[in-house]
């Protein structure tokens, strides 16, 4: 089965795409940790992981806003990550954040794909688009970590 994901769609085409998206979101932290373990611990890789954590914290805040029918924020407090944390520690912290986001989406069933939030600028974002953005960012960081593991630059 070739599932299609479109960032312009506010809802998945069907339950198969929704379930596939949730599976990808759930397994991404494990794949990332493996890639990070194999990559050299560089400042560039740690920076990418911190960016991923900041984006994940924002997605959690945005999902929470959707849950409570509040305006969707453009910024969020980034969880404290030890300034001396190595890449593996940051990957573990990201996994904790992802578990929080995943719990918000998974435990509420398919009704979540109906959730939308309105930003201060008047634009709207759906839960599907939010989670799809997470999946895309996961893929980009995973590719960067794998490149670093092969001796390239993250």
Contact status, residue 49 vs residue 87, Cβ threshold 8 Å? yes
DSSP alpha helices (H): ranges in the chain? 15-38, 43-67, 87-106, 127-149
CATH number, residue 121: 1.20.120.450
Give the whole-angstrom CA distance, residue 14 versus residue 19.
Answer: 9
* Neighbouring-strand partners of residue 119: 72
The whole domain housing 121 covers 15-149
Residue 10 lies in a domain: no
Contact status, residue 131 vs residue 24, Cβ threshold 8 Å: no
Domain contains 96? yes
Q: Report yes or no on 107 lying in a domain.
A: yes
Q: Can you give the pTM of this predicted structure?
A: 0.85
Residue 1, in any domain of the structure: no
Pick the range with the lowest mean pLDDT from 28-42, 60-74, 137-151.
Answer: 137-151
Residue 5 lies in a domain: no
Q: pLDDT tens digits, residue range 72-121? A: 998 777 666 666 789 999 999 999 999 999 998 887 767 788 888 888 78
Judge whether 49 lies within some domain.
yes
Query: How many structural domains comprise the chain?
Result: 1
């Amino acid at each position: 089965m070739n599932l299609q994901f479109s960032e312009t769609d506010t809802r998945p085409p069907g339950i198969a795409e929704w379930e596939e998206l949730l599976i990808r979101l759930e397994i991404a932290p494990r794949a990332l940790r493996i890639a990070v373990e194999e990559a050299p611990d560089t400042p560039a890789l740690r920076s990418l992981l911190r960016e991923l954590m900041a984006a994940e914290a924002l997605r959690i805040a945005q999902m929470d806003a959707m849950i409570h029918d509040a305006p969707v924020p453009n910024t969020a407090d980034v969880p404290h990550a030890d300034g001396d944390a190595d890449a593996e520690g940051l990957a573990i912290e990201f996994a904790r954040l992802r578990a929080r986001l995943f719990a918000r989406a998974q435990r509420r069933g398919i009704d979540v794909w109906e959730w939308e939030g309105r930003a201060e600028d008047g634009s709207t974002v759906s839960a599907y688009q939010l989670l799809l953005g997470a999946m895309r960012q996961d893929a980009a960081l995973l590719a960067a970590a794998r490149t670093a593991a092969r001796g390239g630059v993250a």
